[in-house]
Amino acid sequence: MEIYDNPRHVEDTFNESNLSEYLLQAQWAEFVELKKTIAELYKKKKSPLRVLDIGIGDARILKHLVGIKEIWDTIKSYDGVDVAQNCIDISKKIIKDLKIEKKVSVQLLDAVKLKTLKKKYDLIISTWFTVGNFYPFDFGFKNFKAGYDMSTNDKFTIIFQQAYELLDPKGEIIIGSMYIDNEETRKKQEDSYRHFGWTVITNEKDCFTATKEGWWSQRFTKQRVYDYLSFIPKEKISFIPLDTYDYAMMVRIKK
């Protein structure tokens, strides 16, 4: 079962009134930076962009993009994938309500199978801590002991290897937000999850926070990003802080 197949995870984390200011403002900061990237890429390409959204969730980003005509007009097509049927159902309803079926398509797909898309994209996004949900294939919640070795993360790497392949030579991958790994951020994550009523099973030995209910969310350092994406030249990767208190960062990856 995937994290967001749990209806409680959908209800808790997609309900704005449940979210901490840290989480909410990371969404705003990420969106501001994302709009800048879209405008930049459009200016460079001089024609509308093909976008892929990995982990579209409740189509939050799509909704906001559609609402800004100047931005939406610079997008040629918007494909969304998600591993949870719940999220696909929510997204499909939104697409229908907004009458944007011509430009938008969503499908149930685990990002580890991205290469089956067989299409090129100008912009591949994965927003709001989604990439922190990509936990290693052999991770087990049942017999978990703190201090799990995260020097590699096979799922994270496999997903981005495939995303990089789907990227047009002039395109970019935007990892919308990642938690920055430090004690304060760890505590803020734990506070959020406890607020949702979940039971945290990790501690300061881990660079991710997991819960008994099956939640898993990783924190990153620049080095950890370089390590997991070692197949991408370092100079192609840049980091954008999303706040002044080391909570979240964006990663831009050029081809």
Ligand X SMILES: C[S@@+](CC[C@H](N)C(=O)[O-])C[C@H]1O[C@@H](n2cnc3c(N)ncnc32)[C@H](O)[C@@H]1O
Q: Interface residues with ligand X (CB under 6 A)?
A: 2-4, 54-57, 60-61, 81-84, 87, 110-112, 127-130, 133-134
Q: How far is the CB of 208 from ligand X (least distance, A)?
A: 14
Q: How far is the CB of 251 from ligand X (least distance, A)?
A: 15
CA separation for the pair 129, 124 (Å, rounded): 15
Nearer to ligand X, 45 or 112 (CB): 112
Of 117, 130, 111, 40, which is closest to residue 77 (Cα–Cα)? 117
Q: How far is the CB of 133 from ligand X (least distance, A)?
A: 4
Nearer to ligand X, 42 or 135 (CB): 135
Q: How far is the CB of 46 from ligand X (least distance, A)?
A: 28
Nearer to ligand X, 94 or 225 (CB): 94
Q: How far is the CB of 87 from ligand X (least distance, A)?
A: 4
CA separation for the pair 179, 208 (Å, rounded): 9
Nearer to ligand X, 108 or 146 (CB): 108
Nearer to ligand X, 110 or 227 (CB): 110
Nearer to ligand X, 11 or 170 (CB): 11
Q: How far is the CB of 234 from ligand X (least distance, A)?
A: 25
